[in-house]
Amino acid sequence: MTVPSQVRARLVGSEPVGAYHLLTLDAPAVAAGAGPGQFVAVAVGGPGSAMLLRRAFALYTADPATGLVQVVVAEHRPGTAWLVHSPVGTELDLVGPLGRPFPLPAAAGTAVLVAGGYGSAPMFDLARRLRERGSAVHLVLGAATGERLFGADEAPHVADTVTVTTDDGSTGRRGLVTDGLTALVEDTAADVLYACGPMAMLRAVGEIAAAYAVPCHVAVEEAMACGIGVCMTCVLPVIGADGRSRMVRSCTEGPVFEASRVRWKDVGTLPADVVGADAMGGHR
């Protein structure tokens, strides 16, 4: 896995895409060797800003040939607002690629990719890499509204089939992104599932995968303050290979995990049986 770099990345493109903003950055050291599911951490606010924490964004594209990377940003608070309104030419302090990417199967098969909102960003590069290895790819995109979908126009170019859902029915089928997933897993005889999006969606995808004994890899959306495993704000309970649970950092041990190993109902808590819970009892 590529060692992350801290670089000054020039913003070479910025455009609105539905409810989001697509930023293109010149960052050759980050683009080299980045994998789908990895992310970058960007400093916001400029050198004199009081906003000390970086903002983490999944990589949408990373092209070693051009040195360009792209991220999808949803404007929420002052940090992301500063970022999406930065003019082309702005130099950004960037660290990446960070985290563990989605694992690719050893042999060609059938993959179902499920994404919610701009959680679809890493799925396009993943879909391309799977198809390059001979796998069939079925992509499911969902969001609250059509405006909050990302990549619906691009999806047919990277997947064999595309299913689009919105909560309000403004685009595609009305309903949740997981509503038709059981039928799709059955109809395609899926060998593996991948998912990225809200935690509730990831839990539901993991439960469907478990019901059909299909491996499932999910990129979690825990809040990350540092992105490099120092601050411990993004921990969640995960079952290890030895069967014992530990609070692990989603920025370094993740953000991609096997869905079956995440203790979804305990996310956001400190379960009493995790390794070291007795020593951390005063911090629950």
CATH number of the domain within which 87 lies: 2.40.30.10
- Domain check: are 118 and 215 in the same one? yes
* Residues 93 and 120 both lie in one domain: no
- Residue 225 in domain: no
Question: How many other CB atoms sit within 10 Å of the CB of residue 55?
Answer: 22
**Exposure class string for 220-231: b at 16+ Cβ within 10 A, else e:** bbbebbbbbbee
Domain boundary pick from 45, 73, 98: 98
What single letter denotes the amino acid at residue 107?
A
Q: Could you list the residue range(s) of the whole structural domain that residue 188 is in?
A: 110-219
Q: For position 279, what pLDDT does the model report?
A: 61
Q: Minimal CA–CA distance to 56: which of 220, 253, 212?
A: 220
pLDDT of residue 33: 86
Are 275 and 246 contacting, i.e. CB atoms less than 8 angstroms apart? yes
C-beta separation of 269 from 245 below 8 A: no
- Give the pTM: 0.93
State how far the Cα of 282 lies from the Cα of 284, in Å rounded to an integer. Answer: 6
* Whether residues 23 and 92 fall in one domain: yes
Return d(Cα 77, Cα 79) in angstroms, integer. 6
| The last residue of a domain, from among 75, 98, 121 | 98
Residue 104 is assigned to a structural domain of this protein: no
Report residue 131 CA to chain centroid gap. Answer: 19
Report if residue 17 sits inside a domain: yes
pLDDT at 230: 86
Query: Domains in the chain: how many in total?
Result: 3
User: CA dist 247 to 40, 98, 240, 257, 273, Å?
Assistant: 22, 19, 10, 13, 11
User: What whole-number distance in Å separates Cα of residue 143 and Cα of residue 72?
Assistant: 15
Is residue 129 domain-shared with residue 187, that is, in the same domain? yes
Residue 117 domain-assigned (yes or no)? yes
Residue 198 and residue 125 share a domain: yes
Alpha-carbon distance 257 to 239, whole Å?
Answer: 10
Question: What is the per-residue pLDDT for 278?
Answer: 76
pLDDT for the residue numbered 277:
80
- Confirm if 277 and 270 have CB atoms less than 8 A apart: yes
The dihedral region occupied by 89, where left means phi > 0, alpha psi between -120 and 50, and beta the remainder, is left
Residue 103 inside a domain? The answer is no
> Per-block average pLDDT, block size 10, for the chain (284 residues)?
88 95 97 95 87 91 97 92 95 95 95 95 97 97 95 96 96 93 96 96 96 96 79 90 93 95 93 82 51
